[in-house]
Amino acid sequence: EAGVAQSPRYKIIEKRQSVAFWCNPISGHATLYWYQQILGQGPKLLIQFQNNGVVDDSQLPKDRFSAERLKGVDSTLKIQPAKLEDSAVYLCASSLVGASRETQYFGPGTRLLVL
Amino acid sequence: AQSVSQHNHHVILSEAASLELGCNYSYGGTVNLFWYVQYPGQHLQLLLKYFSGDPLVKGIKGFEAEFIKSKFSFNLRKPSVQWSDTAEYFCAVNEGGLTGGGNKLTFGTGTQLKVEL
């Protein structure tokens, strides 16, 4: 079974530039999550989708971050404009239906460096 | 809001030593508890999880964890570590119950374990 795919794996940009990350979840998984992991910290949930609807985006900095999952499958996360403090690994995860006892399956992450 | 504390940020052990990594959470209601592991160059993956029942839960690769409700703790243990256990370990929690309030995980800051030969 193919895992969660993410691209790109690495990205270096200058502050105030924009950047986009892509995620393709495990086939058949209705729930998709984006996490931000800053160096030395654990992953922090940014947004959770159930199919193409947003379940939780309470920790998404909406003035600069946006995410979509238009067809309920793959998803993009965008930052515009980027700040230095956005340097982090952005993890995508998926799970079958989004129940609290489910395992979340993580992708390899996109490592972003903002200069 | 929930929070998860992992007090050991870096642990170095020799092979065959016993391991215990601490995890404490702050949430008064029913919780689901997870340990995830990230081996060097690999994805985060589930090690074990606890919902209810026997508070001692066993996971992959000989790991186990014990839920102590009165201490709000879910410590990870392994009797004898191997060099291949070198990894970063994350404790995570979400609100429990049969369906819970969705699957919003709160992670601890992680413990980097290095096992020396």
Amino acid at site A91: L
Q: Kind of pairing, strands A110-114 and A10-13?
A: parallel
Contacts A26 to B, Cβ<8 Å: none
Query: CA-CA distance, B67 to B35, in Å (whole number)?
Result: 12
Out of B44, B104, B108, closest to residue A48 by CB: B104
Residues B107 and A60: their CA atoms lie apart, in Å, by 16
Partner B contacted by A101 (CB < 8 A): yes
- Check B44 against A43: CB less than 8 A apart: yes
* Distance from C-alpha of A46 to C-alpha of A54, rounded to nearest angstrom: 11
Mode of pairing for the β-strands spanning B111-116 and B10-14: parallel
Give residues 35 to 94 of A whose Cβ lies within 8 Å of B: 40-45, 48, 55-56, 91, 93
* Mean pLDDT of chain A, nearest integer: 95
Mean pLDDT of B70-87: 97
Residues A76, B85: Cα–Cα separation, whole Å: 33
Beta A31-37 vs A88-95: how paired, if at all? Answer: antiparallel
Give the residues across from A12 on adjacent strands: A113
Q: What is the pLDDT of residues B42-77, one digit of tens each?
A: 999 999 999 889 999 999 999 999 999 999 999 999
pLDDT digits (tens, 9 = 90+) for A31-78: 999 999 999 999 999 999 999 899 999 999 999 999 999 888 999 999
Q: Select from A4, A41, A100 the Cβ nearest to the Cβ of B102.
A: A100
- CA-nearest residue to B110 within chain A is A42
